[in-house]
Chains A and B, each alone.
Chain A
């Protein structure tokens, strides 16, 4: 059934005035519900206004729509919690964590007194923040993918791409400068570990980009 632009505006305005939406998916789902409901009602001979009111009441009015949005937020939190657990389990086993901890220990303990302590501490904060930011972006991005959330996915994609291709290599430069003062063995090990981290993140992002961004799950019918 084709709705006029005014009728579409009326539906959107009713949906928007009922509650505020943190998730556009809920708004889209409600809009589809309204259009399907109105189409059915009109087939039974009801006018547009009658159909709109009927569908609105069937949904439980404003209260019902608030409940749907609240339910969706709860579901997202549950999914997020489950995903966090899965993510933590994956990453605590991962080589990347060992590398991150090793780097942090090297910088914090500063065994060769290569750098004055404040600079070492600053490095820990910077590296820690970058690693944390990268992991969080990566997690959010994957979480968005698991939720099938197209909008969040796109948003988080930007964050993780920025980390992988710009920030991580930028942080690698001071890290290389720092470790270059140590023995060849340590230099070789830490630099290869760092490279591994950067490459691993980049490859992961390309893989997810292909799966979730270049080939989005939304299909045109």
Chain B
């Protein structure tokens, strides 16, 4: 996927609720590329160069593990933010 496509994809998936700012996306992509998490290649599309990003083949396992860790973290947050958690709290 190329940069603009990623922004649009996130917007579409979340029905516009979540937006990746383009100004923040490219530095993040370049940073991940520098760390070897992503690989890129360029293609000429309609006469202009377009840069496509993909998860590095040796980093796919890391990406799966990382997203699973984020999901775990969100689950923990949901438990913490559950109203029943607060009802059990006693204030002295």
A-side residues, CB < 8 A to B, are 25, 28-29, 31-33, 35-37, 40, 58-60, 63-65, 67-68, 70-72, 74-79, 82, 148, 150, 217-221
Check B4 against A75 for contact (C-beta < 8 Å): no
Prevailing SS type, chain A contact patch: helix
Contact of A59 among B23, B40, B46, B48 (CB under 8 A): B23
Which residue in chain B gives the minimum CB-CB distance to A60?
Answer: B23
Given contacts A28-B49, A31-B48, A148-B40, contact A64 B30 (CB under 8 A): no
Residue from B5, B27, B28 with most neighbouring chain A CB atoms (10 Å): B27
With A60-B24, A221-B44 known, 11 other A-B pairs at CB within 8 A are: A28-B42, A29-B51, A31-B49, A36-B4, A36-B5, A37-B22, A60-B21, A64-B21, A64-B23, A78-B31, A219-B43
User: Interface size for chain B: under 10, 10 to 19, 20 to 34, or 35 or more residues?
Assistant: 20 to 34
Given contacts A32-B2, A32-B4, A32-B49, contact A76 B44 (CB under 8 A): no
What 0/1 pattern do residues 12 to 39 of B give for CB contact below 8 A with A?
0000000001111011101101111000
Q: In the complex, what distance in Å separates the CA atom of A29 from the CA atom of B33?
A: 14
Those 9 A-B pairs whose CB atoms lie nearest each other, nearest first: A60-B23, A64-B23, A71-B27, A75-B34, A78-B34, A75-B30, A36-B4, A28-B49, A68-B26
Contact of A78 among B5, B22, B35, B46 (CB under 8 A): B35
